[in-house]
């Protein structure tokens, strides 16, 4: 009976630890980031034959690098996370995992992920991965409490996965990679400001400065979301102009961009949390639709 109890306890402990690491790397967020990286890798002109082994390696390396950045973020923001309802149950904030353990995991995962990018793909994608990790963990993360420019800074590592995927596949920094980078770069502003609007009370309580106005959710903030949504329209035309995609994806991307503009305008008109939440969920849908439409046009 004692052995059975020990086995059961060990099984529960392993399951609990696995759940903690799942939260530590912010699996859903990391998956979304790596999804962008993989799609942009597949869009690179030099990637003609889709090797599933290389796709899996890219996914694993991307998850390690992104997971490393998120682990550092949670270790640095341990006390801040503990004070917010949305993040209070994260493993480091809740005391289920020490900061040292999170930093150790982050170091190992980051190094292994970057080395995988170098060994299996190229040095450029590895260096860009390391740079992206550094900017997110050590510039964007502490900057959130200093100035709202943190959102602009954070948009770079948020969009680098598109460029990393392209460079991994094409081994260059040609226009296609920068266009894909630009699409995801602009997308982040209405996306992130909508999140910051919904969670404004939680964020302001711990001193995060994430909205463009220091007065919080204002008409100015909503107008910024509208402006960046509008800027996404010409950016969405560039893949067609540079022969990265065809007419079908051009129209799909255009409709998706107009939809984002409409949702942002509704936020400007209504100035409420439900409207901000609609912008947020619309942005979640937008990115996979746009990236998959662009990829599908390449495959035709």
CB contact at 8 A, 40 and 161: yes
Q: What is the pLDDT of residues 158-184, one digit of tens each?
A: 999 999 999 999 999 999 999 999 999
What is d(CA 265, CA 269) in angstroms, rounded to the nearest whole number?
6
What are the tokens at 85?
A: 């309802």
DSSP assignment of 27-94? HHHHHHHHHHHHHHHHHSTT--S--HHHHHHHHHHHHHHHHHHHHHHHHHTHHHHHTSTTTTTSTTTT
> Which residues make Cβ contacts (< 8 Å) with residue 76, sequence separation at least 6?
137, 141, 142
- The residue extents of the domains of the chain are 14-171, 174-300
The pLDDT profile of the chain, 300 residues, written as one tens digit per residue, is: 545 545 445 556 888 889 999 999 999 989 999 999 999 999 999 998 889 999 999 999 999 999 999 999 999 999 888 888 888 889 999 999 999 999 999 999 999 999 999 999 999 999 999 999 999 999 999 998 888 888 999 999 999 999 999 999 999 999 999 999 999 999 999 999 999 898 888 888 888 888 777 777 889 999 999 999 999 999 999 999 998 888 999 999 999 999 999 999 999 999 999 999 999 999 999 999 999 999 998 777
Query: Residue 53: which residues within 8 A CB-CB, separation 6 or more?
Result: none
In this prediction, residue 199 carries a pLDDT of: 85
Q: Which of 240, 124, 249 is nearest to 175 (CA)?
A: 240
List the one residue out of 26, 39, 15, 96 whose CA is nearest residue 68.
26
150 φ/ψ angles, rounded to the nearest 5 degrees: -55, -35
Q: Is 97 left (phi over 0), alpha (psi -120 to 50) or beta?
A: beta
CATH code that applies to domain 174-300: 1.20.120
Q: What are phi and psi of 241, to 5 degrees?
A: -65, -35
Residue partners of 4: CB distance under 8 A and separation at least 6: none
Helix (H) or strand (E) run with residue 12 in it: helix 2-24
Distance of CA 197 to the CA centre of its chain: 18
Fold of 14-171: Tetracycline Repressor; domain 2 (1.10.357)
């Amino acid at each position: 009976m004692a052995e059975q109890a020990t086995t059961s306890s060990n099984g529960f402990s392993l399951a609990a630890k696995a759940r903690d690491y799942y939260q530590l790397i912010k699996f859903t967020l990391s998956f979304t980031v790596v999804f962008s990286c993989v799609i942009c890798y597949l869009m690179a002109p030099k990637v003609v034959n889709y090797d599933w082994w290389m796709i899996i390696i890219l996914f694993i390396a991307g998850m390690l690098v992104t997971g490393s950045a998120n682990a550092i973020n949670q270790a640095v923001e341990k006390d801040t996370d503990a004070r917010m309802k949305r993040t209070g149950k994260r493993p480091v904030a809740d005391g289920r995992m020490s900061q040292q353990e999170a930093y150790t995991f982050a170091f190992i995962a980051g190094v292994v992920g970057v080395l995988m990018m170098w060994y299996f793909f190229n040095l450029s994608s590895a260096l860009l991965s390391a740079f992206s990790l550094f900017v997110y963990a050590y510039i964007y993360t502490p900057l959130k409490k200093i100035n709202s420019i943190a959102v602009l800074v954070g948009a770079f590592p948020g969009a680098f996965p598109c460029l990393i995927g392209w460079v991994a596949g094409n081994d260059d920094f040609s226009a296609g990679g920068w266009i894909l980078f630009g699409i995801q770069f602009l997308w982040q502003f209405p996306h992130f400001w909508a999140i910051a609007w919904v969670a404004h009370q939680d964020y302001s309580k711990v001193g995060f400065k994430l909205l463009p106005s220091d007065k919080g959710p204002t008409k100015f903030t909503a107008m910024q979301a509208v402006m960046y949504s509008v800027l996404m329209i010409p950016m969405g035309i560039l893949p067609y102009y540079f022969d990265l995609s065809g007419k079908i994806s051009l129209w799909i991307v255009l409709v998706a961009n107009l939809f984002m503009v409409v949702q942002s305008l509704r936020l400007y008109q209504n100035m409420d949390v439900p409207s901000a939440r609609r912008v947020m969920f619309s942005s979640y849908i937008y990115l996979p639709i746009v990236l998959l439409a662009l990829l599908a046009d390449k495959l035709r």
